[in-house]
Chains A and B, each alone.
Chain A
Amino acid sequence: MTLTARRYVVVVLVAAAAWLVVAAAALTIGPVNIFGVGGAVQRQMLDGRIGEVVTASLVGAALAVSGAAFQALLRNPLADPYILGVSGGASLGVILGTLVLPPAWLYLRLPLGGTVSLPGVCGFLMALAVIAVVYLIAQRRGRLDPYRLILTGVVASAFFSAAIMLAVALAGDRLRNELIFWLMGGLGSPRDQRGELAVAAVVVMAGLAVFVWQARGFNLLAFGEDVAASLGLDVQRHRRTAFVVASLLAGISVSLAGPIGFVGLIVPHLVRMAFGSDHRLLVPLSVFGGAVFLTVAHRLVLLVPYEVGGGLPVGIVTAMCGVPFFVLLLVCGRGIRGGVL
């Protein structure tokens, strides 16, 4: 496949524009008609919605590109950002932080305004720890083998899901309900999250930049390790970087919004089906695709009136809307080509 610079720029710019349009439209959609309220209320609502849309976009982008990276790294079409236990670790960190930290510390006010949720920070630190542990177990003399990595990750994942279940079982009545809802994934916060979102945005952008830069390496790896090496790719270094950065993205998205399923699995596949499996396009398109997908899913959730069960976790919608769409593409479209391997 030929990817000219012109095509690259055009496709990426169109995707970015699509995201901007969706984000702007999302600001006008919500539980309340924002045009029907007065100026002061309108500003408050807009403030809240910007927070929601930014969170959804950041988390969606991080998950989608992390999923694309894991699918390429592990050479497994079923890989998603949560496969290596990083999200389990991050979730456990958030839950333990909530259970253990003194109440007054749960939300720290930043000097510049906004608050930071310390359980979220615990989640991120835990994700870092899990990345280190999984890496240490999976590597052999500095070599990272995808099969060892996936085995280690699945075991770590199983361990953390057990630990989460334990924590949920031991939590009090009311907190347990909240934990369960949180584990289904939610977006936005009634608190002033600006500080938190700014930090997360920097980390996510840096991670995305790394993958854009690494895209060619993923393409080479698709030919197999030996071919990639003979074409001049430092395979081990590439794998290490991809593993760490993809895990970081997964960790930060869980810390921000809880484990939202399916985005990281499906968005890269959708992009592949539509635009082929060249990672130079796949990575940036997954970024915008993930952002759009999660933003739209979240807006859909918000449209459910509260009398009939509003306040659903967005993770339910991502799966329920994503699966039929995925099946439709699979049946009617070109299907999943060997883009992953």
Chain B
Amino acid sequence: MSVHGLPLCGRAALSAAWAAVVALAATGCTEERALSPRPPAERTVVSLVPSATEILFALGAGDRVVGRSIYCRYPPRALMLPAYGSYTDVRVEELLAVHPDLVIFNTSKADSYGRLTAAGIRCIAPPTDTVQQVYETIEVLGAEVGAADRASALADGLRERLEAVRRRTASLPRVRTLMVFPSVLGEGNQVSVIGRGTFVSELLDAAGGENVVEAEGYPRVHFEKVSQWPIEAILISAPGDIAPGLTDEQYREPWMRWPTIPAVASGRVVVLREAYLTIPGPRMADAAELLERTLHGEAAAGTSTSWGSSGKMPLPLMGRMPMPRYGPQTSVCPAAAGDAGGGAL
């Protein structure tokens, strides 16, 4: 709008009117803000972290989750929600328009975190790098959405199940295990491994495994180096929902070139298709039980390895298994499936 050419008094009148509009808008805003800190049990939430989304649904607050990230795919109901970006790439303007009471981030360092906070939207980024932090995050989120009791129950339940796994495997021999993320494109001769200090490594520990990786985090290691480790089992985490997936056989192929690795020689190279294996949320007890089953077989009954040391995979392992997507599948490792859920590896 141009005010050039208007008589002076006209301009004054205009600016006065503009001031009034601004003032009105401002009071409108403050009124809305005043309403904003709703009681926790009514807060609406946008969760940009898959584990937090799962926790919220598990706490019965799924109805108040009004948005997710593109990575949040569980529970299936979450898929119906609008996605507001990835971890760091967040559609700030749309979120401002929706104006949820709480936004959960993966990291508080995201640029969008600061912008939303500045706009008066509460943002949190609870850490989930260790199992203990997952329990704490469950409690934190419970308090945020007014479901503290359910949160305590959920955390206690998980703690109990993990403890049970730990008890069952305590007397069993530890299986020296390497967990890897497979490469689809060339990473050269490198492989991304799951190191210590990660929650998956903790789950592995509970499930009677011993992580052969000494380093922290998720380092990339050359196959030559890996071939020197005393690995008794190799677990390849290849969620079916991450495109493009290869067949089990293709994921295993790079390992078949290193027959001197004990795990390869004895055929204990397993492709795990469960996405929840690496999601630090309410399904981590499922993940621990899955690892336990994979490493020790059902109830550690000592069922003999089904394919010995010939280095040959049994037939059910060769083909491409159906990709379990979401949901609490219990038996996913191909051997377990073929063995009526009881294949010790």
Contact = CB atoms under 8 A, between A and B. Distances in A.
Interface in B177-233: 181, 183-192, 214-215, 219-225, 227-228
Given A103-B246, A190-B257, A178 B222 contact: no
B260 A41 contact: yes
B184 A186 contact: no
Contacts of B227: 32, 41, 44-45
A188 B191 CA distance: 12
A107 B189 contact: no
A113 interface: no
A181 B246 contact: no
A43 to B, nearest CB: 9
A104 interface: yes
Interface residues of B, number: 38
A172 interface: yes
Contacts of B258: 44
B276 to A, nearest CB: 15
B247 A257 contact: no
B241 to A, nearest CB: 8
A172 B260 CA distance: 34
B245 interface: yes
Interface in A19-56: 30-32, 37-38, 40-41, 44-45, 47-48, 52
A311 B247 contact: no
Contacts of A172: 242-243
A44 B257 CA distance: 7
Interface in B59-85: 71
Contact of A98 (B184, B221, B224): B184
A300 to B, nearest CB: 13
A181 B189 CA distance: 13
B131 to A, nearest CB: 22
Contacts of B152: none
- Provide the main secondary structure of the chain B interface: loop
A329 to B, nearest CB: 29
Contact of B186 (A31, A257, A302): A257
Contacts of B246: 103-104, 106-107
B222 A306 contact: yes
B222 A98 contact: no
Contacts of A310: 190, 219-222, 225
B184 A175 contact: yes
Given A178-B187, A188-B188, A45 B250 contact: no
A190 B185 contact: no
Contact of B184 (A41, A45, A106, A302): A106
A239 to B, nearest CB: 34
Contacts of B320: 104
Contacts of A44: 227, 257-260
A191 B184 contact: no
B226 to A, nearest CB: 9
B185 A311 contact: no
B150 to A, nearest CB: 29
A99 interface: yes
Interface in A142-188: 172-175, 178-179, 181-182, 186-188
A13 interface: no
B253 interface: yes
A119 interface: yes
A174 B219 contact: no
B260 A307 contact: no
Contacts of A47: 257
A94 B186 CA distance: 11
Contact of B222 (A257, A311, A313): A311
A139 to B, nearest CB: 34
Contacts of B192: 311
Contacts of B185: 94, 98, 119, 175, 178-179, 181-182
Interface string A75-110: 000000000000000000010001101111011000
B86 interface: yes
Interface residues of A, number: 49
A174 B181 contact: yes
Interface string A303-321: 0001101110110000000
B244 interface: yes
B254 interface: yes
Contacts of B189: 48, 52, 188-190
A10 B188 CA distance: 36
Contact of B220 (A37, A52, A119, A311): A311
Contacts of B187: 178, 181-182, 186, 190, 311
Tell me which of A31, A117, A309 has the highest count of chain B C-beta atoms within 10 A of its own C-beta. Answer: A31
B224 A190 contact: no
Nearest to B225: A31
Interface string B257-292: 111100000000000000000000000000000000
A31 B184 contact: no
A244 B185 CA distance: 27
A189 B186 contact: yes
Given A179-B185, A258-B186, A306-B219, A173 B71 contact: yes
B253 A107 contact: yes
Contacts of A179: 185
A104 B186 CA distance: 16
Given A103-B244, A103-B250, A106-B244, A307 B219 contact: yes
A207 B260 CA distance: 40
A47 B259 CA distance: 13
B260 to A, nearest CB: 5
11 contacts: A40-B259, A41-B227, A44-B258, A103-B246, A104-B247, A104-B320, A178-B184, A186-B187, A189-B188, A190-B223, A306-B222
Given A306-B225, A311-B219, 10 more contacts: A52-B188, A99-B243, A107-B250, A174-B181, A175-B184, A175-B244, A186-B186, A189-B188, A191-B257, A306-B222
